[in-house]
Amino acid sequence: MCETCSSTLTRRGVVAGLGAAGLAAIPLPAGAAGRRPHRVLVFSRTTGFRHASIEVGVETIRQLGAEHGFAVVHTEDQRRIRARHLRRFTAVVFLNTTGNVLDDHGRRDLRDFVVSGGGWAGVHSAADTEYDWSFYTRLLARGRFLCHPVEQPGVIVRENPDHVATRHLPRRWQIPFEEFYSFTDNPRPRARVLLSIDESTYQQDPNTSQLPSEEQPFPPPEGVTGVMGDHPMSWQHRIGDGLSWYSALGHEIDMYVDPDYRQHLLGGLLTATRHGRRHLSA
Q: What is the pLDDT of residue 211?
A: 76
**61, 95 contact by CB (below 8 A):** yes
Rg, C-alpha atoms of the chain? 18
- Is 11:254 a contact under the CB 8 Å cutoff? no
Sheet arrangement for strand 242-247: 71-75, 39-43, 91-95, 119-123, 242-247, 232-239, 192-197, 152-158, 172-178
Residue 221 — pLDDT band, cuts 50, 70, 90?
low
Amino acid 9: pLDDT: 44
Of 137, 91, 72, 124, whose CA–CA distance to 256 is shortest?
124
Q: Where are the alpha helices (DSSP H) in 125-280?
A: 134-139, 259-279
Taking alpha carbons only, the member of 48, 221, 231, 51 closest to residue 143 is 231
Q: Residue 199: helix, strand or coil by DSSP?
A: helix
11 or 66, greater pLDDT: 66
Q: Collect all residues with Cβ–Cβ distance below 8 Å to 243 and sequence separation of at least 6.
A: 119, 120, 236, 237, 271, 272, 275, 276
Instruction: Tell me what pLDDT residue 47 has.
Output: 97
Q: Is the pLDDT of residue 34 over 60?
A: yes
Per-residue pLDDT tens for 41-77? 999 999 999 999 999 999 999 999 999 999 999 999 9
| Burial classification of residue 178, based on how many CB atoms lie within 10 Å of its CB (0-12 exposed, 13-18 middle, 19 or more buried) | buried
15-19 LR contacts (CB < 8 Å, sep 24+): 15/55, 15/56, 15/59, 17/257, 18/56, 18/59, 18/60, 18/63, 18/256, 18/257, 19/63
